[in-house]
Amino acid sequence: MNDFRLFLVFLRDYFVSKAVETGKSFEAVKDIIVAFLIVKRGKYSSSFLSSTVLLIVAAVLIGGPIIAENSPFIGSVEQTGNNQISVISYNPYESNLSTVVSVKSRYQIDDYSVRGGDTLDTIAKRFNVSVNTIKWANDLKNDMIKPGDVLKIPPVTGVVHKVVSGDTVYSIAKKYGVTAQNIVNYVWNDFADQDTFSLTPGQIVYVPDGEIKPAPVLNTKFISTIQVGARGSSNFIWPTSGVITQNPVWYHMALDIANPTNPAVVAADMGTVTYAGCINWGYGCHVIVDHGNGYQTLYGHLSRYNVEAGDSVNQGGQIGIMGSTGRSTGTHLHFEIRSGGTLLNPWEFLK
């Protein structure tokens, strides 16, 4: 037993001594490596940085398209068969009233080379414009086209007008049988002065739904007269009285109701005012009402309003007076109906 005890003591001392020797050897080698890296750090750091930059560039090239496609803050630029893209626009007044609409990707005149089998009708359907729009843009007197012809295709149904000295949005609108507000509402029209909507000679102005006629005609955009309080099919009533000067279109999903007598504007349904204020552009003085059932209504270009955010309003209760504030060319009401942040066609609710 004594010999065995002595053996165990020897074995312990042996392992301890070996562990100490190994530790000293490791420390010595480690000190050498560290000293070498410190001396050569400039050389290796340069290689490291170069490799890092290459990795970042590769990540952007590979991952960028995926991020852009799936990001909720970046509009998709993938064209569909109808030459359209989906875009998200941000409402600066109410985060829950952001507008999600499908809009046309074309914003300027395109050149199209006629192919065998093409007709003006098939080309018009392909670009979602009218046949007359193509004929007016190309000064065609009939429907005859042939392969190889190059046609100018406007981005919207209507007339393309080249501004000359003395032109105004009002004179152009009168010439083509629309209202000046139609021209101002079109998002791709630009103006030398955003407050007065002045134009520069030589610039191109798009006139949505405009028509070229041989003689002046009555403004056909005044399509109907409505009375305030008339009830729609979904429990919304008309918010004011007047004449409809513009129907809903993809870039202006709202009704414009004009009346030079500045009538009262009422709530289309009962609800709570979530915004009431004025800005120098866009909707001007306007009110937004949340109806508590997923629907919201907006009343724009008011001359004044008599409600505040947080107020409860009854259906038919007055909220303001029709006016011409903001991006407006004349006294009218810009009326929107929304659900879940998406602009809806008011005609589906106001019959």
If you write DSSP's letter for every residue of 77-91 in order, what string do you get?
----TTSEEEEEE--
Tokens 């046309």 appear where?
A: 104
Q: If you count DSSP H runs as helices and E runs as strands, how many of each does the chain have, helices first?
A: 6, 17
pLDDT over threshold 80, residue 57 = no
- Answer yes or no: are the C-beta atoms of 240 and 316 closer than 8 Å: no
pLDDT over threshold 90, residue 302 = yes
pLDDT over threshold 50, residue 78 = no
Q: Which of 25-34, 192-201, 300-309 has the lowest mean pLDDT?
A: 25-34
- Answer yes or no: are the C-beta atoms of 76 and 85 closer than 8 Å: yes
Q: What is the pTM of this model?
A: 0.49
User: What pairing do the DSSP bridges indicate for beta strands 99-104 and 84-89?
Assistant: antiparallel
Compute the average pLDDT of residues 206-229.
64
Neighbouring C-alpha atoms within 13 Å toward the C-beta of 196: 7
Average pLDDT, the chain: 79
* Nearest one of 259, 276, 258 to 267, comparing CA atoms: 276
For 238, other C-beta atoms within 10 Å of its C-beta total: 22
**The two three-digit tokens of residue 95, written as one number:** 């985060």
User: What pairing do the DSSP bridges indicate for beta strands 342-344 and 332-339?
Assistant: antiparallel
